[in-house]
Structure 1
Amino acid sequence: MEQKKVWFVTGASKGLGLSIVKQLLAQGFPVAATSRSIDALSKAVGSDDNFLPLSVDLTSEKSVADAVDATVKKFGRIDVVVNNAGYGLVGALEELTDEESRENFNVNVFAVLNVIRKALPHLRKQGSGHIINISSIAGFVGTFPGFGIYCATKFALDGLTEALSEEVKPMGIHTTIVGPGYFRTNFLAADSLVTPKNIIEEYTTVRETQHAHQHSYNGNQAGDPEKGAAAIIRIASEQQPPLHFFLGEDAYNLAYSKMDAVKAELESWKELTVSTAVEA
């Protein structure tokens, strides 16, 4: 009988990460999962012989290395890495401090790099594996006032994942960017969506966006996290998984709107764009 893949999932105490972990365990997969609070993680998931809860500071290389080593020690290998941990930040670019902006990058980008760097030696040695980075439709479409820094972190994640896919493909390792739209998780709740300390009242569109996300969208998102988790698990079972996987009908529609807009702009400015060639 084929050995079930070993999963390593970050940010697993709530939201999409928690749904992924619970479904995997229900299907008999060995799962190592991380959270800042091991108590919250254990309470949320429950007890299971195939479950390894880990308290990890993802911004610390040593903490991540210890978690990866503990996973390999318990299960013998790692097959699927899901970088799910992250948080939202809403605020105009002028409002957000350097510290607030850098912290969003630390968690949403550099923590992912820590996990990738520590997991890849094991995946390379095996000659197989799958790295799934949970990005956002905001990593492909940036026209959300107030979400400039958050979009920047997710655009960065998309870019590094595209490059990573070409680096590791010859080693038998797959890579997927998951770009969810709005899912009915606690992502828009106060403990997951950070707001700026310094408010500039002139940014009315930012305040309107912030209010809508916190009071209108929250709890009314169209996406079902259980179905989203099942789709991500399904992707990991494919022999040729996609590099880009948009999740949710809203993400699908927004992606096409962006591509259509870019194509129209390209054609509108084509004459000037191509006029820069060196004369023969």
Structure 2
Amino acid sequence: MTEQQQVWMVTGAGRGMGVQIAQAALSAGHEVVATGRDPERVQDAIGAHRNLLTVALDVTDPVAAEAAAAAAVDRFGRIDVLVNNAGNFYAGYFEEISPEQLRAQMETNFFGPLNVTRAVLPIMRRQRSGHVVTITSAAGIIGQEFCAAYAASKFALEGWMESLRYDVEPYGISTTIVEPGFFRTELLVEGASSIWPELSIDDYAERTTQTIAAWKGMNGQQGGDPAKLGAALVTLAALDTPPLRFVAGADALAGVEQKAHLLLEQVDAHRELSSAMSLDES
């Protein structure tokens, strides 16, 4: 391995954004451990490459995460960049999403990255180097209609990642949150990554029907190019000081800027009341 060459581990690499991230890392000359539930599908999606290792991994299984990390070290000797990319989308209004669906959303989108990162961090700490990249979403910083479960899982990831930074910085490990907007992936493909609500409530019925139709109509029309996002991550991972947060896509940029202005407006609106909460010690 050359001094500039890195070993990447990418979850959810059998389709969508994960494929493009793995391909971008390989194109840059890096070694890649690409994981997914079906390693043959992962290999077919990415294409054969001498620097590619495909490994079976269900991110909700901590034992499988440990095995995947061990396989990476057995093959390449180290892990320099972990990309937590695997995820899915349980869409719907909160009351129509069953408790089982909401827990399933959290298991994949939140606890999944935690499982994989928990397996990889001991390796990075031994190396005294590494970079944990977690793909959240614009919905991880901006709540959206029909996204109660999905946004909850992504907001949770953001809080975890912001705090994880302080845990691992002393050991030479950096962290980056990536917040994509709408990219042309399979996230909105019904049955692949999108799951509609199990419950039905009359008050929501018409809105649910209309919103599902709108989401389906967006599939294949998203403006973001996942290949460009993959290339951007390769660029960021090569920096001496990677960013703590990377907003990906013009739509996400606009949304995050609007949210930042809204937060400041809300702070200013009640500044005097907010500041008057101290105990009177006299």
Give the TM-score normalised by structure 2: 0.95
Q: Quote the offset at 1:206 in angstroms.
A: 4.5
Partner of 1:181: 181
| Inter-partner Cα distance in structure 2 for 1:24 and 1:167 | 27
Matches within 5 A, 1:146-165: 146-165=146-165
1:251 is aligned to 252
Residue 15 of structure 2 is matched in structure 1 by 14
Structure 1: gaps spanning 5 or more residues: none
Q: Is the 8 A contact 2:140 2:151 kept in 1?
A: yes
Code of the residue aligned with 1:237 in structure 2: it is A
Q: Mapping of 1:226-241 within 5 angstroms?
A: 226-241=227-242
Q: Which moved more, 1:147-156 or 1:198-207?
A: 198-207
Which 10-residue stretch deviates more, 196-205 or 155-164?
196-205
For residue 261 of structure 2, give the secondary structure of its aligned residue in structure 1: helix
| More deviation, 100-109/41-50 | 41-50
| Alignment partners' CA distance in 2, 1:26 and 1:264 | 44
Q: Residues 244 and 3 (structure 1 numbering): CA distance in 2 closer, same or farther, change over 3 Å?
A: closer
SS in 1 for 2:203: coil
C-alpha change, 1:205 and 1:9, in structure 2 (3 Å) is same
Measured in 1, the distance between the counterparts of 2:14 and 2:180 equals 18
The corresponding residue for 1:214 is 216
Q: Supply the distance in 2 between the matched residues of 1:210 and 1:255 (Cα, whole angstroms).
A: 24
Q: Percent identical across equivalent pairs?
A: 39
CA contact (8 A) 2:10 2:35 kept: yes
CA distance in 2 between partners of 1:101 and 1:226 (Å): 30
Q: Report SS of the residue matched to 2:236.
A: helix
Q: Distance in 2 between matches of 1:265 and 1:207?
A: 34
Shift of the 141–206 alpha-carbon distance from structure 1 to 2, 3 Å rule, reads: farther
| TM-score normalised by the chain length of structure 1 | 0.96
User: Alpha-carbon deviation of 1:168?
Assistant: 0.6
Instruction: Provide the rounded CA distance (Å) in 1 between the counterparts of 2:102 and 2:84.
Output: 20
How many angstroms apart in 2 are the aligned matches of 1:75 and 1:238?
Answer: 22
Return closer, same or farther for 1:75/1:3 CA change in 2, 3 Å cut-off: farther
Residue type matched to 2:161 in 1? T
For 2:94, what is the secondary structure of its paired residue?
A: coil
User: What amino acid is aligned across from residue 211 of structure 2 in structure 1?
Assistant: T
Summarize deviations over 1:18-62 as a string: whole Å, max 9, x none: 001112222221100111111211211222121111111211111
Contiguous gaps of at least 5 residues in structure 2? none
Could you tell me which amino acid in structure 1 is paired with residue 162 of structure 2? E
Secondary structure of residue in 2 paired with 1:276: coil
- Alpha carbons 1:145, 1:206 under 8 Å: kept: no
Q: What is the distance in 1 between the residues matched to 2:112 and 2:18?
A: 16
Question: 1:50 — aligned with what?
Answer: 51
Q: Describe the superposition over 1:213-254 as per-residue Cα deviations: whole angstroms up to 9, x where unpaired.
A: 211x21111111111111111110111111111100111110
Structure 2 counterpart of 1:175, which letter?
A: T
Is the partner of 2:276 in helix, strand or coil?
A: helix
